[in-house]
Amino acid sequence: MENQSFPGGTAMTTIYLIRHAEAEGNLYRIAQGQHESSLTDRGWRQVRALERRFADIRIDAVYASDLYRTRATATAICRSHGLPLHRCPGLREICVGDWEGRTWGDIARAAPEAMADFGSRMDRWSIPGAETPAEVLARVKAAVEDIARANPGKTLALFSHGYAIRLLLANLQGISLRDTGEKSPTGDNTAVSLLEWDGEALRVVWQNDNRHLKDPEYLAGEKPGRAKRAFALEPGLWFRPLEGPEAAERLAAAWAEAGEHGPVPSASLTLEGLLNEEPAGLLHLAPETGRIHLAYIRPDCRRRGLGVQLLGQAVQYTRAQGGETLSAAAAPGTPGEAYLRDCGFAPQGEAEGRRLWQKPIGFDPSI
């Protein structure tokens, strides 16, 4: 696309506004906000698809919010085009205050009206410690305008977040905060929108294009039958710790049902995952070492995207202890192995008839 000039010599600035790739919060159903999270395996495949899309497009500069998930996504263009990344805190996602790092299932249970407003009535959403959507809109719009003003006539790639982008696109098209929930949907992870800046105002050319996620190379990595969320804020599990005789009884039953033999290994944390108020699964974890001894979902709750939410809790608790690796063991050919493989674990040898699996969860220091 050739940049145009306007009367007075002002050059058109072209801006590709891109949402970050799938991050842990998206998969594990955790409110990310400004809480740090990494990309999922699927997210990294989206990054590679994005790199292919932009391979032959001239980009003069790359900006991203300073959160890890946008910086990681921006490598799709920075590394292939040999460009430095400019970090811009103004492009950050909304700070969701007391919701940061909590599961959407927990939030839906504790504050159903506020959660509904968060997705559909941005004009009245407000919780302790959070930014308001109006504040986020003002912050993000000012950041994009400042970047455009500093790069007249250039073609830019800006990486931001779903909620922030949604607010900006709606505003630029004359949609009020009250109507944004109904009239401006959230784009897919790595969805691309095109803006133009004429020196005075931003204009939306097109929005939320995800054509790169439909190419055969990307689709070849998609898992058939993977559970799809009905909508972006669909809640999932909420968790509570189990202790004492209740934990021992529940663990023994789940251990046997999972086909394991012998006593349940000791560990410092047992979490019960509940769907609404019904127990749906158990996580038995040693967060100080990152060892998962049991990740169990009730049979009638399986194949609904709930099992991976147990992994999300294992990541959260292990990271809080400074850990950078999760590990687990499973007998060859069992459903446990299939679960671990599907969650991105890789085999790391065998011991006593069980295969050992590991998954790195640390942040890449080069990003």
Residues 54/57/61/65 CA torsion (nearest 10 deg): -30
AA letter at 266: S
Q: Where are the beta strands (DSSP E) in the chain?
A: 13-19, 61-64, 85-87, 155-160, 192-197, 202-209, 238-241, 269-275, 278-286, 291-297, 325-330, 346-351, 354-360
* Residue 262, pLDDT score: 84
Radius of gyration of the chain (CA): 22
Per-residue confidence (pLDDT) for residue 232, from 0 to 100: 57
Q: Which is nearest to 70 in space by CA: 108, 21, 12?
A: 21
Burial 40-76, CB ≥16 within 10 A → b, else e: bebbbbbbbbbbebbeeeebebbbbbebbbbbbbbbb
In the sheet that holds 155-160, the strands lie side by side as: 85-87, 61-64, 155-160, 13-19, 192-197, 202-209
Q: What is the mean pLDDT of each run of 10 residues along the chain (367 residues)?
A: 51 96 95 95 97 98 98 98 98 97 95 95 96 98 98 98 98 98 94 97 98 95 66 79 90 88 90 94 96 93 90 96 94 83 90 88 95
Query: Could you tell me which residues come within 8 angstroms of residue 127 by beta carbon, excluding any fewer than 6 positions away?
Result: 96, 97, 98, 99, 111, 114
Q: Distance between CA atoms of 12 and 202, rounded to whole angstroms?
A: 10
Question: Token pair of 162, please?
Answer: 């779903």
Domains of the chain (ranges, CATH numbers):
13-219 (3.40.50.1240), 238-360 (3.40.630.30)
What's the pLDDT score for residue 173?
98
In degrees and rounded to multiples of 5, residue 177 shows phi and psi of -60, -35
